[in-house]
Structure 1
Amino acid sequence: MTSPTIGHLRVDGATLHYEVRGEGPLLLLIPGGTGGAASFDGVAGHLATGYTVASYDPRGLSRSPLDDPEAEQRVERHADDAFRLLALLSPDAPARVAGCSSGAIVALHLLTTHPERIERVVAHEPPVVEVLPDAAEHRALLARVRDTFHREGLMPAAAVFAAGLRRPADAPKAAELPPELPPEAAARVQRTMADMPYFLGRIVPSFMAYTPDVDRLRALSDRLILAAGADSMGELPYRPAAFLAERFGTPLVHFPGGHTGLSTHPAEFGERLRKVLDA
């Protein structure tokens, strides 16, 4: 895979690390969780044969430091960061955008606030649980995660969170690195573990409390592709995408794997994403 061109963009309150590959119309990839730009390494090369592919570490992750480490994190500010990247990398033409998990929440807000800059959005399992009829139950989950984090620390809170998503096996098991990992992979795991307190303590509570502008999204649904993992049907992150697709009368597009299909099935995930973007 071709090495990316690395850049840094100064935004309000942070400096963003971003990576660019390929040529063609811009495709901005917005990562979820703690993976950062590296979470798209398995698909970026394939997509770069027809697109200028850009991804980045969201503000507050290891390579995109905050000016104030205690600053409140909001979906709106993260979406403005994505908008700044669009303005930098594709100033004269609208772009395609794909986001996963918390990155898909950012993509939804970006579409509602800057539709003139967006040609198409793929939102893979955005956990916008406030749109669900049982949203109160998920607020209670977030409260349990917060309380466990403060009382017992990171790993117990991560276990509570994973159980609430109905994927307890996905919770991190240990901070130690397997000795057989190659150096680049080991560095990614180290960054992931280092960023977990920020993600679980600052991103999850704010992002999962966010309520999208559903009426605005419905009006823009001709350029919105709601996606979910073929193996995660019925799990919490799957449900908002399915709910919104039904409400808008649009298809729910299934991708290989579950919520983390980008990591577990990168080749198939990238091929599916390419077909959806090119349709």
Structure 2
Amino acid sequence: MTTPDTRTLSAPGATLTYDVHAGPAGSDVLFLIGSPMDASGFATLASYFTDRTVITYDPRGVSRSPRTDGAAETTVEEHADDLRRVVEALGAGPVDVFASSGGAVNALALVERHGHLVRTLVAHEPPTAQVVPDREAMLAVCADIHETYLRGGSGPAMAKFIAVTSRKGPFPATWADEPTPSPADFGLPTEDDGSRDDPLLGQNIRGCTGYRPDIDALRAAPTRIVVAAGEESEGRFTARAAAEIAKSLGTGLTVFPSHHGGFLGGEFGQHGAPEPFAKTLRDALAAPAAA
């Protein structure tokens, strides 16, 4: 792809940075959204959509989008308002959106409030604990990860996070009685470096997992919503949440190749299946044929 045009935008409490990968004149706009993952995570996926103008961005508090208010946590509502600002700054009318993980939660909140800005949303594995049957346990698990981070730093908290995201099936009410994973088991640091600004463990985990999508507002929005999960993610928290949202919307769950990061092509040292993933995304974005 051509070198992107990097732009900044002032928002309450943050300076947002986003990239415009210009496609052919008059081409449709595709906004690729993650959270807390920044724009760099979409480099491979964006390369499969050179026929479109692709937008990527760094969420507030991440990489090139520093918070200016000193807040320790970010709400989904703040993220949704940031997305609104970026789309409106483009001045391109309704855009198509692919949103993954926390970005999918934020994009659902955007559609709830400003559906006229989004033509089609593909929400890939939104990790909201509010919709799963084991809601209380999942909310407590996520709160415990955050508290572990504040108490002991990133190593112990990330060990718990990896164990949680790798697990299949509902969490029991007795989850706290289970053995605590060790950071060393995952090659994570065992010493606390004293920092507490991690965008996942500190800033976003409670707001994202604790957000309850407004199903009535989503149904009423003009946006076409496709809820998706990776075929390798079946039974895991994010896929279970996606399935529950799809069921509530009455749309059915769209299965994508690979796993939670199936679009990755080596970013952050992780590999999915980006080419078939991009093909499935292109199919999902296509409007359904007229009856």
TM-score (normalizing by structure 2)? 0.82
- Partner Cα distance (1:135, 1:142) in 2: 11
Provide Cα deviations, 1:125-166, integer angstroms capped at 9, x if missing partner: 001110122110111102321232123210110111121122
3-state SS of 1:6 partner = strand
Do the aligned partners of residues 172 and 62 (structure 1) sit closer, same or farther apart at CA in structure 2, a change above 3 Å counting? farther
Q: How has the CA–CA distance of structure 1 residues 6 and 244 changed in structure 2, closer, same or farther, with 3 Å as cutoff?
A: same
Shift of 1:72: 3.6
What's the counterpart of residue 39 of structure 2? 37
Instruction: Read off the aligned partner of 1:83 and give its amino acid letter.
Output: R
Gaps of 5+ in 2: 168-180, 190-194, 265-271
Matched residues in 2 for 1:172 and 1:32: separation?
A: 23
Question: How is 1:1-279 mapped onto 2 (pairs within 5 angstroms)?
Answer: 1-21=1-21, 22-23=23-24, 24-33=27-36, 35-49=37-51, 51-89=52-90, 91-166=91-166, 173-174=187-188, 197-220=198-221, 223-263=224-264, 264-279=272-287
Structure of higher CA gyration radius = 2
* Counterpart secondary structure, 1:226: strand
Aligned partner of residue 219 in structure 2, secondary structure: helix
8 Å Cα contact 2:153-2:196 kept in structure 1 = no
Letter of the 1:5 partner, please give it: D
Same amino acid, percent of matched pairs: 39
CA distance in 2, matches of 1:221, 1:112: 10
- After superposition, the Cα gap between the structure-2 partners of 1:93 and 1:36, relative to the gap in structure 1 and judged at 3 Å, is same
CA RMSD of aligned residues (A): 2.2
**Amino acid across the alignment from 1:40:** F
| Count of aligned residue pairs for this structure pair | 256
3-state SS, counterpart of residue 122 of structure 1: strand
Q: 1:137 to 1:80 in 2, by over 3 A?
A: same
Contact 1:60 1:69 in 2 (8 A): no
Q: Name whichever structure is richer in helix by fraction.
A: 1
Paired with 1:207 and 1:172, the residues of 2 have a C-alpha distance of 24
TM-superposed CA distance for 1:53, in Å, is 0.6
Q: Distance in 2 between matches of 1:204 and 1:59?
A: 14
CA shift, 1:44, in A, is 0.7
Deviation at 1:92, TM superposition (A): 5.0
Output one character per residue of 1:175-231: Cα deviation in whole Å (capped at 9) or x when no partner: 7xxxxxxxxxxxxxxxxxx99723211101111111110122233486000000010
Distance 1:224 1:104 in 2: 11
Distance 2:55 2:222 in 1: 24
| Residues 222-245 of structure 1: CA deviation (Å, up to 9, x unaligned) | 600000001000100101111121
Distance of 2:202 and 2:156 partners within structure 1:
13
CA distance in 1, matches of 2:247, 2:285: 21
After superposition, the Cα gap between the structure-2 partners of 1:227 and 1:196, relative to the gap in structure 1 and judged at 3 Å, is farther
What code does the residue aligned with 2:220 have?
A
Going from structure 1 to structure 2, the CA distance change for 1:160 and 1:237 (only over 3 Å counts) comes to same
The letter of the residue matching 1:226 is V
Question: 1:172–1:65: structure 2 CA closer, same or farther, 3 Å change rule?
Answer: farther
Q: Residue deviations 1:49-103, cap 9 Å, x none?
A: 1x211010000002111112335411011111111111111x2521111100000
Q: Is the 8 A contact 1:256 1:265 kept in 2?
A: yes
Describe the SS at the equivalent of 2:263. helix
CA contact 2:215–2:248 (8 Å) conserved in 1: no
